[in-house]
Amino acid sequence: MAYINVGASYAHGGRIQTKKALREELLSGNPVVFDSTSPLGPRNNEEIMSTDIGEDTLSVIGPDPFTNRKWYATVTVFCGKFVVK
């Protein structure tokens, strides 16, 4: 298990603007794209699909991890369901 700092985007493009929107998108079953913010670490700048989180814990910074840090969330998978805190 690893903790990975990421940003979150809709699969069709555009950043997810709120923590509530992130939770709703994940619970609706729509894919979400998480992009790693670090060139180092377990996922080395790669995009992570919501279907491929596995045992990792994602620390999401939004709406944009590089320019606009208005909210933070933790995304994990527990018993096959997304948990957003």
Supply the pLDDT for residue 1. Answer: 63
Provide mean pLDDT across the span 14-38. Answer: 93
Q: How confident is the model at residue 45 (pLDDT cuts 50, 70, 90)?
A: low
Quick: pLDDT tens for 17-27.
Answer: 999 999 999 99
Supply the pLDDT for residue 17. Answer: 97
Domain boundaries, given as residue ranges, for the chain: 3-84
Average pLDDT, the chain: 88
- Enumerate residues 6+ apart whose C-beta is below 8 A from 49: 11, 31, 32, 33, 34
Return the DSSP state at 60: E
